Chain A
Amino acid sequence: MTTVSEDSARRGAVSEPVAPGSGPPVVLAVRDLRVHDRVSDREIVHGISFELTPGKVVGIVGESGSGKTLTCRAALGILPEHFVVSGGSITITGHDVAGLTPAQWTELRGSTISAVFQDPASYLNPSIRVGAQIAEVVRVKQGFSRRVARRRALDLLAAVQLRNPALVYEQYTYELSGGMLQRVLIAAAVAAEPTVLIADEATTSLDVIVQAEILDLLADLRDRAGLALLVVSHDLAVVAQICDEVLVMRRGDVVEHGSTAEVLRRPRHEYTRLLIAEHEQYGLEAYLDATTPQHQEPNHARQESNHAH
């Protein structure tokens, strides 16, 4: 990749390990992570590095197969069977996860690092009322009694802005919309008060209004609880909405890494420029750009990518 040297130089600037006492604690550090597929005997993720501190939001954007989901799964200790971490390190709240036993991973997941994914219905049991499923997370992870767990589950459903928590508590998954289900999943994910939440394509199947509601909810959790967020999406605009810092992945490589504003204003890699150009080809922003004066600002990215085509 042409930008690797620039990239690693900038990566050093944004994610150099912070010495103890010199800044906010690093809650998730991924350093030069490599993931290997044992079946095809190929490396799938070729070294990705980033850091999360409390309240920080990092985004990974890339097409399917770029390695973004494998990166998340490695950080959660849930890589599919034939994938292994073959290089680099993952540190969660200061502890290297390399030697963790399955039992230790189970303890860590939910209470320290947690996640929500694209299809919320598939993570809930359709034959158990959703409230009981959240209460169970609270009971198992925090050791509360049934009664306290129920109250806490109701609080969590209210905290994710479900309008009638008591009603939702008694409902089954089929009675809830996609947006409501994703809120329930977020409630379950933050039930044990983790420090890191990974949202992997968490808004992809939702319509635009509900997507904005979920992104606003994640921003609230960041603001209120200092939750550190890793937001993964194929949609650059979604990542741009909420992230302080963005990594662009393609075929297992990080082709671009920097502050969101910088990456959008001065994309260095051809692929990032392509993602921006695609967004500008159609859609509301493209329309407003073409018709409203205040949206017309010089954009070098668009001009360059037009030349490239």
Chain B
Amino acid sequence: MPTDAVPADVVPADVVPTDAGLTDAVSRPGGVLQVRDLDVHYGLGRRRRQALHGVSLQVEPGETVGVIGETGSGKSTFARTVLGLVPSSGGRIVIAGEDVTRYSHRQWRTLRRRGVVQYVFQDPLRSLDPDLTILESLIEPLLLQGAPRGGAGRRARALLRRVHLEEELLERRPGELSGGQRQRVALARALITEPALIILDEPVSALDSANRVQILQILKELRNSGVALIFISHDLGSVAGVADRIAVIYQGELVEVGPTRDVLAEPAHAYTRLLIGSVPMLRSAPADRTERDALRALLHA
């Protein structure tokens, strides 16, 4: 039961959430993505709400960063802002050395069409045209860039193998595929432009455990191929085995970022600690109930 008094030994004072968003500690040059002090607001006038407060994150080439947060935390807003689908109201976004902060709709569309940054959402039915065959969907991004059809088709076949799908699926339509197959097609489609960065927003949340394991395995294989990944999820367990670093977004702020191992072994922020302490375990002793209650009280204070 939540208590008003939080025992001092349970939650050190330095993990108390503060108004100042945490900054991605080390400032490094370059990177495929540099986000600095990003603010995003939704709505107008009295309904105006701030969705992101000063979020800073840098992603290096080939790196996989897991972005963890609950529903409404702002993690999907972060993804959409980086893709130019939601305007920012402050801060700076640099993609592959290009400052895109003040880009117009048209510039964003050109950038997305170049395929430097790609994305995969939770529901592949939304990102795959139901009227196109899988082959047509896969090569579409290349055709938009003016690539010849034959070469694009060869590349599509190669990518299909990379996501462990049979070539015979190429002539089918999304509706004839299972959810897991569709998500693998969406991944292949994202890979076809040889992007520097793919943003995956809850890519395995809608899948059953067998398909989930398969997609996570493919993501792990991608780690060594040079493409950087931002893996957004509410599920720490899915991200843990794939991400080099984990960033935690809570109530619109980046409250914690670090190597996966450190964040999971020694979570600093109360939200991260509660998240880890809430995961049902089979063999490890369940996390201490008293600590969970103290963390809940702290977060709701």
Contacts and interface: CB of A to CB of B under 8 A. Distances in A.
Q: Do they bind each other? A: yes
A254 B299 CA distance: 42
Contacts of B281: 237, 240-241, 284-285
A285 B296 contact: no
B262 to A, nearest CB: 11
Nearest to A280: B282
Interface string B208-244: 0100110010000000000000000011111011000
Contacts of B282: 236-237, 240, 264, 276, 279-280, 285
A278 interface: yes
Size category, B interface:
35 or more
Contacts of B276: 284
Nearest to B216: A282
A279 B275 CA distance: 18
Interface stretch (A65-73, A113-121, A292-300): A292-300
B283 A286 contact: no
B279 interface: yes
A306 interface: no
B212 A288 contact: no
A123 interface: no
B235 A292 contact: no
A212 interface: yes
Contacts of A237: 280-282
Contacts of B284: 285, 288, 295
Given A163-B300, A209-B70, A209-B275, A285 B283 contact: yes
Contact of A287 (B213, B241, B289): B241
B175 interface: no
Contact of A213 (B234, B236, B279, B296): B296
A161 interface: yes
Interface string A140-162: 00000000000000000000010
B241 A286 contact: yes
Given A278-B209, A282-B213, A287-B237, A240 B261 contact: no
A165 to B, nearest CB: 14
**A interface secondary structure, majority:** helix
B292 interface: yes
Nearest to A281: B213
B286 interface: yes
B213 A235 contact: no
B100 interface: no
Contacts of A279: 282
Contacts of B2: 161
Interface of B: 1-2, 70-71, 209, 212-213, 216, 234-238, 240-241, 260-261, 264-265, 274-284, 286, 289, 292-293, 296, 300
7 contacts: A208-B279, A211-B280, A235-B280, A276-B282, A282-B213, A283-B237, A285-B282
Given A237-B281, A282-B209, A287-B260, 9 more contacts: A208-B278, A264-B283, A281-B209, A285-B283, A285-B284, A286-B240, A287-B241, A291-B261, A299-B283
Interface of A: 161, 163, 207-209, 211-213, 215-216, 219-220, 235-238, 240-241, 264, 276, 278-288, 290-292, 295, 297, 299
